[in-house]
A and B are shown apart, each in its own frame.
Chain A
Amino acid sequence: MIEVQNLTKRYGPFTAVDDVSFRVERGEILGFLGPNGAGKTTTMRVLTGYMPATDGKAMVAGYDVFTHPIEAKQRTGYLPETPPLYPEMTVRDYLTFVARIKAGALRRAERDARVQQVMRTTRIDDMAHRACGKLSKGYKQRVGLAQALIHEPEVLILDEPTAGLDPKQIMETRDLIRSLGGDHTIVLSTHILPEVAQTCQRVVIINKGKVVAVDTPENLTHQLKGSASLYVQVEGRTSAVEAIQDIPGVRRAFISDQHDAYTGYEIESEPNHDVRRDVARVLVTGGWGLIELRPMRMSLEEIFLQLTTNEQAEEARHG
């Protein structure tokens, strides 16, 4: 449904998006994860036809967004980071205007019915006569979503749809997005990690304009479970770092917390190496009083941090 090939976007000397490629299948919800300034918004703006790419290709619903922008836009609903509302218009007037420019072929009665319908879907019908500028943040976001849905697009592109909402609104918005999946192909960007795990079937992690990883949230957690995954506690103030680092399969060990009674270590292992048995053996035979040994399940948050910091480390090495 969406296909991005070698997409590059430069602003003068600055490369915002660097050779990005990914696909989204029909009915899938794809999470676009990355820190601020990673190139998420730029990628979405290219996909929605807001700006052209410097290089590469983007297809939405079978249409190239650059050569057939109108056809692609007719099939794309877009919620920008700030909902694009006209403050002096009422919600109903605003949605009617958007329907006129996005679904111009509708007759008046059909259009009114459509406006009514999206207001129900996004639960804003109680605010139909309120001026957009006077709405709360949560309502503004929902009007933004309603605006994106009004022409019944096949593809939905949502830029940080839950940013700035309170926890209850976040839950509601996520439920709404999940319920829209299936009928719609959705790309949503976020820098909040639990969001991806909860709403998306697949994740693209992007950092400094480059795709770092593409996978399901489960696989990403799984894939990296083997590394940085061990926490051990030994009695007293000790330093077993060197002994632990000598164990084959251990990539790195460091003291994470230290008290008079015990010292805690975090141990990163090479991927697909289970070093727990060896670590226990070395510590026990070495005479350290082993109190605790447990795997640390990485949250998506840590994966994300790790992926992006590794990237930075690599960059530093290459100078």
Chain B
Amino acid sequence: MGNLVRNVTAIAGKEMRGYYGSPVAWVLMGFFAVVFGYFFNVYLNFFVDQAMRGGQFGAPPPMHVNTDMIRPLLANASVLVLFMLPMITMRSYAEEKRSGTIELLLTSPVTDLEITLGKFLGAVSVYAGLLAVSLIPILILFSLGDPEWKPILSGYLGLLLLGSCFLALGLFVSSTTANQVIAGGVTFVVALMFWIINWLADSAGPTFGPILNYLSVTQHFDDFGKGVIDTTHLVFYLSFIAFSLFLTLKSVDSERWRG
């Protein structure tokens, strides 16, 4: 167990160094900050506008900064995440295979599980860094008004879990190819499928409809945005991550056999 933690930390540390040592992490961070800041601005103006207008006609409609501003903002951030995360994981295995450094990892006294977990946690840390940047405008809200922090926390937990699903998925796709562009593209397409799969739910009939709804990663995100942490959703996200990492392990192992 001590070995596992030690090796996973070593590999995760190396991964983070790789992300922050190259422009990837910084470009993503800058892009995320700009776009999130833009959304923040738009929703803030909209919220202020609505609140003022409501005040003009006597009884103002009940408006709340959590439900009417932060929630849609975080929902938008989740779309952004869908586009950006494939760029984090596309290198992870693909680049190691292309450059041959995978030989170093696979001939070192570490297990495949430790390598996969290390790579996953490295990617999650970079993603957490992105989310941290988006907290800055949210904190400004606290200085202006009095939002509730609990739904914000659960919203961010949801974002972290949702993103981690895409990262685990991206890791798996990356482990199947030595070309990072393909890895990024395929990850995006597959992630998008899990995103919009519930669009088909209505027309899929009573048997498949609920299944498609269940598989949609967005359906599970909504409750987190509302401030509800439901174990169903937790279980869904954690199983999604575990299953993707399991596939990654199998893919690395089968690569070994095939050479």
Contacts and interface: CB of A to CB of B under 8 A. Distances in A.
Interface of A: 9, 11, 16, 42, 45, 48-52, 69-71, 73-74, 76, 78, 80-82, 84-89, 93, 97-98, 100-102, 104, 147, 151
Closest 6 CB pairs of A and B: A84-B104, A100-B10, A73-B109, A88-B21, A84-B101, A48-B107
B36 to A, nearest CB: 27
30 contacts: A11-B258, A11-B259, A42-B259, A48-B107, A49-B107, A50-B107, A51-B259, A52-B257, A73-B108, A73-B109, A78-B103, A80-B104, A81-B100, A84-B100, A84-B104, A85-B101, A86-B101, A88-B17, A89-B17, A97-B10, A97-B13, A100-B7, A101-B7, A101-B105, A101-B108, A101-B109, A101-B110, A104-B6, A104-B7, A104-B10
Given A51-B259, A89-B21, A70 B101 contact: no
A45 B104 CA distance: 11
B98 to A, nearest CB: 11
Most B CB within 10 A of own CB, among A49, A73, A86:
A86
B254 to A, nearest CB: 11
Contacts of B111: 70
B109 A70 contact: yes
Contacts of B109: 69-71, 73-74, 101-102, 104, 151
Contacts of A97: 10, 13-14, 17
Interface residues of B, number: 28
Interface string B87-111: 0000000000001111111111111
Given A97-B17, A147-B104, 8 more contacts: A49-B107, A81-B100, A82-B99, A87-B99, A97-B13, A101-B10, A102-B108, A104-B6
B162 interface: no
Contacts of A84: 99-104
A80 B108 contact: no
Interface of B: 3, 6-7, 10-11, 13-14, 17-18, 21-22, 99-111, 256-259
Contacts of A51: 256-257, 259
Contact of B17 (A16, A42, A78, A93): A93
A81 B101 CA distance: 11
A9 B18 CA distance: 34
A50 B21 contact: no
Nearest to A75: B109
B258 A98 contact: no
Contact of A50 (B13, B106, B258): B106
B16 to A, nearest CB: 11
A52 B3 CA distance: 23
A151 B104 CA distance: 13
A87 B18 CA distance: 9
Contact of A73 (B6, B11, B13, B107): B107
Contacts of A16: 259
